[in-house]
Structure 1
Amino acid sequence: MVLSLTQVQALFGAQASGASSSGNAAAAIPALKRVTEAGAEAKGMAQERKDPVTLTTLAQFRRALDKADTIEKALQDPRILQVLMPALGLPDQAGNPGMVRRALLSDPSDPKGVAAQLGSSWKAAAQTLGAWEKGMDALRDPAMVQRLSDAFVKYQYRLGLNEQQPGLADALYFLESARNAKDVFGVLGDSVIRRVVTGALGLPDQMAIQSVETQGRAVTSRMKLETLQDDRAVRKLAERYLIVAANKAAESQAAQASDPMSVITGLSIRA
């Protein structure tokens, strides 16, 4: 017998909405305005510093730094990478120690070096850390440890905002970093700037399988790169991206809610 969605909800007490607390498209722009008000981020980060998970992660990071005897070993330690990579703007690379080690130990000014070859985000990360030149001294420097810790706290705070409004963390990053993209390769080479720009312009995700040149033309045919140097225009792009992200999240939730098996699976996971 195949159960209808209504029957599943009646049997298990499930809600048609999928019990998600994410914001909707109508709330997107007010949410961005709220989190960009003066003092909002500082307040949010102060609360994040007290979070038990954040405190534990940072404590493990510092202990791992104390125990590491070489920079190579440090850049393979998951306790270090869990803080280091989000702090350097590359959170999705925390599970890729081989690439991390090769990139962050390469000279970012060398156009043939690994960091430079991987793009602007990796190059900036290598420049910020300076481990290619100073090794463990760079990573253990008290000012650097504090800088990385603060950046990780900011990352965690912003990540939590996505639970309130889909895409909010990306939008905040975009507002402060869009100016760094001086050309179309700067847009495509930064995963967050790329996501916001392509989302705001309505470009399909499948575009990623095309050549970089083709992707670049798709972006520049819809937007002048000078737009990223205009604060008001950047804000408008961030707002458009948030609306798109909210609509995608709503569509995903609706699709899950219409599938009785997904409701049952969700209930079993929560149980």
Structure 2
Amino acid sequence: MISLSGLNTRMGLQLVDATRDRQLDMIRDSAEDKRAIAAFEERIGNVFSVDQLMEDRELYVFTMKAFGLEDQIFGKAMVEKILKSDPDDPKSLVNRLTDPRFREMHEVMGFVDEGQNNLNTFSTSWQSDMVDRYVEQRFESAQAEQNEKVGTVLEFRRKAGEIKNWFDVLKDKDLSEFMRTALGVPASAAGLDIDKQADLFRQKFDLADFKNPAELEKLERKYVAISDAKAGVQASANAALSLMNAAVSAGAGGRFTPITLDISAITALPRRTY
């Protein structure tokens, strides 16, 4: 995987966009992922029930990674209950969870009749889509591990077209953080009642514009600019603190030696170019 080390969000995204196809090919060709894809393609067509999926460790892990749920692999019993849930029952487990990834997995996997039958696994086109989903998610997760903000932008790009109401945004931690930042909504707003949060977003952005590529690009530019500006302020603050600590340490006999710092000069230090 191509490193994003030392890059801000803007530069990181530029590198990711320029190398995307190459990185996707690298994932498909890596030994670990190549084995996982081959096992999935070979055996998923014979899986018709949730129990069969759970009995095959490789297929279960592949499925979880394909939906960005690698951090939940340990919760096998809960995942089994989710996949066997009735989506039409408001009280079923899949409808009571706030994490939208589980609902998406339930819908895409296509298990019905309390997990006893499946509508999709025999389809070669569905299998191909699942492999693409797996590769894309592995790519996105790898970028997020290196640069959280880059990962958030990539997730926004993937999900923006599916947003139907503000609650689709608010139930997703990364999407809501993206929109708060891009629209200038204070982070403290996350503590408000969910209806009030939706009203704040509604006042600042038209839901219909989630279908407008130009508006999505504007949101992305704002998010990146604000994120990098905040990171720059934090870096400057850290530099100032380091200088103050150094001044204290240099004082004779441990005495504090006052110094004058030109904060404007510190914040104006030239950034390293890449």
Structure 1 length normalisation: TM-score? 0.65
Q: Would the alpha carbon gap of residues 128 and 209 (structure 1) be closer, same or farther in structure 2, given more than 3 Å must change?
A: same
Letter in 1 for 2:29: K
Q: Does 1:183 align with 2:168?
A: no
**57-66 or 79-88, larger mean C-alpha shift:** 57-66
Q: Superposed, which structure 2 residues align to 1:100-249 within 5 Å?
A: 100-118=79-97, 121-133=101-113, 135=116, 137=118, 140-141=121-122, 143=124, 144-162=126-144, 166-247=148-229
Q: Would the alpha carbon gap of residues 221 and 69 (structure 1) be closer, same or farther in structure 2, given more than 3 Å must change?
A: closer
Q: Would the alpha carbon gap of residues 203 and 21 (structure 1) be closer, same or farther in structure 2, given more than 3 Å must change?
A: same
Deviations 1:105-129 (A, max 9, x none): 2233444433234365443322211
Q: Would the alpha carbon gap of residues 230 and 69 (structure 1) be closer, same or farther in structure 2, given more than 3 Å must change?
A: closer
Figure out how many residues of one structure are paired with residues of the other and give that number: 236
Q: Contact 1:25–1:244 (CA<8 Å) still a contact in 2? A: no
User: What CA distance in whole angstroms lies between the structure 1 residues aligned with 2:56 and 2:25?
Assistant: 27
Deviations 1:228-269 (A, max 9, x none): 2221111121222233444566648985995x9xxxxxxxxx
Deviation at 1:102, TM superposition (A): 2.5
Deviations 1:145-188 (A, max 9, x none): 44323211111122333467543333233224212111111111
Structure 2 length normalisation: TM-score? 0.65
User: What CA distance in whole angstroms lies between the structure 2 residues aligned with 1:22 and 1:30?
Assistant: 13
Per the alignment, residue 5 of structure 2 pairs with 21
Gaps of 5+ in 2: 246-274
User: What CA distance in whole angstroms lies between the structure 2 residues aligned with 1:253 and 1:159?
Assistant: 29
Deviations 1:33-63 (A, max 9, x none): x34xxxx644431121112332354467679
Q: Contact 1:88–1:125 (CA<8 Å) still a contact in 2? A: yes
Which has more radius of gyration?
A: 2
Per the alignment, residue 6 of structure 1 pairs with none
Gaps of 5+ in 1: 1-18, 261-271
Letter in 2 for 1:23: L
Q: Contact 2:68–2:141 (CA<8 Å) still a contact in 1? A: no
Q: Sequence identity of aligned pairs in percent? A: 21
User: What CA distance in whole angstroms lies between the structure 1 residues aligned with 2:80 and 2:4?
Assistant: 38
Q: Highest relative contact order (Cα 8 Å, sep 6+), 1 or 2?
A: 1
Q: Would the alpha carbon gap of residues 28 and 65 (structure 1) be closer, same or farther in structure 2, given more than 3 Å must change?
A: closer
3-state SS of 2:204 partner: coil
Per the alignment, residue 269 of structure 1 pairs with none
Q: Would the alpha carbon gap of residues 27 and 254 (structure 1) be closer, same or farther in structure 2, given more than 3 Å must change?
A: farther
User: What CA distance in whole angstroms lies between the structure 2 residues aligned with 1:75 and 1:139?
Assistant: 16
User: What CA distance in whole angstroms lies between the structure 2 residues aligned with 1:113 and 1:220?
Assistant: 30
Q: Would the alpha carbon gap of residues 44 and 20 (structure 1) be closer, same or farther in structure 2, given more than 3 Å must change?
A: closer
